[in-house]
Structure 1
């Protein structure tokens, strides 16, 4: 049985296609990042920053020349080498082996060639976390929340190279992870 035209139009307005993106999104891109990962406890006696690897992909949804929404998925792997930042032996550590998932909003200066930005959001870390200091003894696996914060520069004529510092604050395990990363943005088929 076919619905009358008026009912079909009302249905389509009420339940729009799931393949469509909101009309305020002007462009879509993919951003791929790779970098030098670090993790550190919120409090420690020795100055420690455990080292590792970071990689992340983001769907860039540009709403305006100065504002973007960025759902992301990535991972970070850090481990302790048993030394502090001064190369002295230590038992303190802050290790993370986690999958990162969430969303961020980026505010940027719409300047060609060099555009500074800052971003913040909310997300989840899924993996294994260990924070061992004079103040904390946490060994936890599973799902925790994190607060991403980043700042950096978008470089190039079309601002398609990203150079920045990314941090994920993980309050439930008393540590933060982060990276110095380089990213490249690839545009998808965008509306003209």
Structure 2
């Protein structure tokens, strides 16, 4: 979910906005270099976004609701002796509504059953 407060980065009023209220579903494939301690990877996939999307700029006027496609893309590193710490940059491109979202992600993998 994203919202706009009608102001730009410098707190000036603006008519431009990009808002979404959606759920993302899909899948990705990861290609990883098998390097001990630092294993870089890249992910790409295809998915669907279900919700409402509004993009209003000087160049675009999009107001859509329903189901659209998105393209997830990630770059990252798996760190540690067993590569169980994941640092990554994740992006979701939604071309049909002129939006994208990005995030810095941190993950930790641990075994639940050790025999």
TM-score by length of 1: 0.53
SS of residue paired to 1:90: coil
Structure 1 unmatched runs, 5+: 1-76
Tell me the C-alpha RMSD between the 2 structures. 1.9
Q: Tell me how far 1:179 sits from its aligned partner.
A: 1.4
2:68 corresponds in structure 1 to: 144
TM-score by length of 2: 0.84
SS of residue paired to 1:172: helix
2:40 to 116, 120, 123: 116
Q: Tell me how far 1:103 sits from its aligned partner.
A: 1.1
Which consecutive aligned stretches of 4+ in structure 1 deviate over 4 angstroms post-superposition?
186-189
Q: Tell me how far 1:186 sits from its aligned partner.
A: 4.4
2:59 corresponds in structure 1 to: 135
Measured in 1, the distance between the counterparts of 2:112 and 2:67 equals: 32
Q: Tell me how far 1:187 sits from its aligned partner.
A: 5.0
Structure 2 unmatched runs, 5+: none
1:104 to 21, 28, 40: 28
Does residue 168 (structure 1) correspond to residue 92 (structure 2)? The answer is yes
Count of matched residue pairs? 113
- The superposition leaves residues 42-87 of structure 1 with CA deviations (integer Å, 9 ceiling, x where unpaired) of xxxxxxxxxxxxxxxxxxxxxxxxxxxxxxxxxxx22223333444
- The superposition leaves residues 12-49 of structure 1 with CA deviations (integer Å, 9 ceiling, x where unpaired) of xxxxxxxxxxxxxxxxxxxxxxxxxxxxxxxxxxxxxx
Which has the larger helix fraction? 1
Q: 1:138 to 1:118 in 2, by over 3 A?
A: same
